[in-house]
Amino acid sequence: MTEFSPLDAEIRDLLRFAAERSMMPRFRALADEEIEMKGVDDPVTVVDREVEQFLTEALTRLAPDVAVVGEEAVAADETVLEKLSEACWIIDPLDGTANFTEGKEPFGIIVALADAGTTLAGWLYDPHKDRLAHARKGEGAFINGEKIKARTSGQTPPIAAISRLFLNEEERAELDRKIAPHYALTDIPRCAAEQYPRLALGENDISTFQRTLPWDHAAGALWLNEAGGKVARYDGSEYRVDEPSRKGLLGASHPDLWEAFAKRLQGQLG
């Protein structure tokens, strides 16, 4: 039995429309002038901006008293981050932009609804699969309206999806010493809208994230926790959207896997 609340159905339709209108027609068809670099290895495209503008306007119409924090709005004006402490929508208009500009999957759209730093609901949309992973705090996790429970890969050693992209030399050495001998390491897909579902659908067991920006993680962290996995800071504290500069986040398909990995990070296990 599928279960879409009116809000879930509204968000699904908005994300689907944005992808069909702006995203999919430009996949593998971007002109050079439609891509800019915000920083090293950090592209932004006309699609990012167009989708964010559309969703900002649509969500404001849906809830006029709720602020909007979009990734590109923050790039233009960092004071927008101050809205993360109040009721707000959080938008990643094109998650996996680097993949998109290279003409490859995965990529998607992420929207979250938060208040006082806590995520209340989240939606991660994959336009290729027409897959909506969605959750409401305290009500469970869903894929296209079907309630799901996180499952592990069942592999020994567990599969750990870890990026070295934002690690310094010392952190890479620690990874090789403490973690690599105990896990089957694989790289991340560079798309949180894909990585979080992988942690619940039996593809990956563990994933670490160095940067924890709210448009990447607010929706996915809630969704995986609601599915019965575990997402938390390395010290076990909860993920909050109003701590955008804080580093380090650990997600796992099962709390026991989370605990074992966290202990190894802290040097409590050999």
Q: Does residue 154 sit within a domain?
A: no
Compare 155 and 38 and report the one with higher pLDDT.
155
Compare 270 and 72 and report the one with higher pLDDT.
72
Which residue range forms the structural domain that includes residue 112?
6-148
Q: Does residue 196 sit within a domain?
A: yes
Domain boundary among 98, 120, 148: 148
Same domain, 139 and 163: no
Residue 41: both structure tokens together: 């290895």
Please tell me the pTM assigned to this model.
0.95
Same domain, 188 and 252: yes
Same domain, 247 and 133: no
At residue 39, the pLDDT reads 79
Q: Average the pLDDT over each of 52-61, 104-113, 180-189 and give the range with the smallest value.
A: 180-189
Output the known binding site for Mg(2+).
71, 92, 94-95, 216
Q: For residue 133, what are the CA distances in angstroms to 36, 109, 112, 142?
A: 29, 11, 12, 6
pLDDT tens for residues 178-206?
889 999 999 899 999 999 999 999 999 99
Same domain, 98 and 185: no
At residue 151, the pLDDT reads 98
At residue 268, the pLDDT reads 63
At residue 265, the pLDDT reads 86
Same domain, 166 and 255: yes
- The radius of gyration of the chain's CA atoms, rounded to the nearest angstrom, is 18
Output the known binding site.
71, 92, 94-95, 216
Q: Does residue 60 sit within a domain?
A: yes
Q: Does residue 270 sit within a domain?
A: no
- Cα-to-chain-centroid distance, residue 251: 11
For residue 269, pLDDT over 60 is answered with no
Same domain, 97 and 217: no
Q: Does residue 180 sit within a domain?
A: yes
Q: In sequence order, what are the beta bridge partners of 89?
A: 68, 113
Q: At 23, which amino acid appears?
A: M
Q: Any alpha helices (H) in 112-191, and if so which ranges?
A: 169-174
- Number of domains observed in the structure of the chain: 2
Q: At 245, which amino acid appears?
A: S
Report the mean per-residue pLDDT for the chain. 95
Domain boundary among 148, 173, 203: 148
Q: How confident is the model at residue 267 (pLDDT cuts 50, 70, 90)?
A: confident
Same domain, 142 and 169: no
Tell which residue, 215, 211, 164, has the closest CA to residue 187.
164
For residues 138 and 141, what is the distance between their CA atoms, to the nearest angstrom?
9
Q: How confident is the model at residue 214 (pLDDT cuts 50, 70, 90)?
A: very high
Cβ neighbours of 52 (radius 10 Å): 24
pLDDT tens for residues 74-94?
999 999 999 999 999 999 999
**HSE value, Cβ hemisphere, 13 Å, CA-based, for 28:** 4
For residue 112, pLDDT over 80 is answered with yes
Tell which residue, 136, 133, 101, has the closest CA to residue 118.
136
- Cα-to-chain-centroid distance, residue 226: 14
Coil, strand or helix at 163: coil
Same domain, 198 and 133: no
> Which CATH number do you get for residue 248?
3.40.190.80
For residues 270 and 265, what is the distance between their CA atoms, to the nearest angstrom?
10
pLDDT tens for residues 165-180?
778 888 888 888 888 9
Same domain, 124 and 165: no
pLDDT tens for residues 232-262?
999 999 999 999 999 999 999 999 999 999 9
Same domain, 124 and 198: no
At residue 125, the pLDDT reads 98
> Which CATH number do you get for residue 44?
3.30.540.10
Same domain, 78 and 195: no
Residue 57: both structure tokens together: 């306007």
Same domain, 136 and 182: no
Q: Does residue 110 sit within a domain?
A: yes
Q: Does residue 50 sit within a domain?
A: yes
Over residues 49-66, the mean pLDDT reads: 98
Compare 227 and 40 and report the one with higher pLDDT.
227
Q: Does residue 1 sit within a domain?
A: no
Domain boundary among 128, 148, 168: 148
Residue 180: both structure tokens together: 């690599």
At residue 61, the pLDDT reads 98
